[in-house]
């Protein structure tokens, strides 16, 4: 009988402590008097609110079925074709030049294959790439000597996002 009374007593105390914790989390200033007389005070732990996640960016699917992104790169606008099959961001010579890279001093030592065939590329680092608020800093990129009609937004940017997903109408980018 004593054993059952002890189990019931522990159960009651546990229930009272749990109820007090719920009351404290609900924002009550003090627990009910019955709870205070049965239990010892529990130290309140501050609950820190998590910072809200940045809003996702969205790139609308174009009528040609591709996702074309207007990105701010190093403070200038560049139009990219989103290409999840490209391992890095790939820049045309014209876009690289507009971004301030001197094409004559770049070291074109990386062999690449494009839809137009084999070419060489030079490695560069972009200070920041931002699409509708989805910003990534220090993005690896390649400047292609030739064979690229438009710059490609590849996985060196996309892979550093928290998440990206393609829907029927848009590409959602989560920073």
How many whole angstroms separate alpha carbon 55 and alpha carbon 35?
43
**Which strands form 163-166's sheet, in the order they lie side by side?**
57-60, 170-174, 163-166
Q: Is the pLDDT of residue 140 over 90?
A: yes
70 sits in which H/E element: strand 68-73
Query: In this predicted model, what pLDDT tens digit does every residue of 32-55 receive, in sequence order?
Result: 444 343 444 445 555 556 777 778
pLDDT band at 169 (very low <50, low <70, confident <90, very high): very high
Query: In this predicted model, what pLDDT tens digit does every residue of 103-123 receive, in sequence order?
Result: 999 999 999 998 889 999 999
Q: What angle do CA 168, 170, 175 make, to 5 degrees?
A: 135
Lowest mean pLDDT segment, chosen from 13-17, 48-52, 84-88: 13-17
Mean pLDDT calculated for residue range 139-148:
96
Does the pTM of the predicted model rise above 0.85? no
Q: Which two tokens stand for residue 67?
A: 């996702």
Q: List the domain boundaries for the chain.
A: 2-38, 57-174
Q: What is the CATH number of domain 57-174?
A: 2.40.70.10
């Amino acid at each position: 009988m004593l054993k059952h009374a002890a189990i019931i007593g522990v159960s009651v105390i546990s229930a009272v402590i749990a109820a007090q914790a719920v009351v404290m989390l609900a924002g009550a200033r003090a627990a009910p008097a019955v709870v205070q007389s049965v239990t010892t005070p529990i130290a309140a732990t501050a609950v820190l609110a998590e910072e809200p996640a940045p809003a996702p960016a969205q790139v609308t699917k174009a009528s040609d079925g591709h996702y074309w992104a207007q990105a701010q790169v190093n403070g200038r606008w560049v139009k990219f074709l989103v290409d999840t099959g490209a391992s890095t961001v790939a820049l045309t010579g014209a876009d690289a030049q507009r971004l301030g890279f001197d094409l004559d001093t770049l070291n074109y030592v990386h062999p690449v294959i494009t839809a137009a065939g084999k070419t060489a590329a030079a490695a560069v680092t972009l200070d920041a790439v931002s699409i509708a608020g989805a910003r990534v800093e220090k993005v690896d990129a390649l400047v292609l000597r030739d064979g690229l009609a438009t710059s490609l937004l590849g996985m060196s940017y996309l892979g550093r996002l928290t998440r990206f997903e393609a829907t029927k109408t848009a590409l959602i980018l989560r920073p």
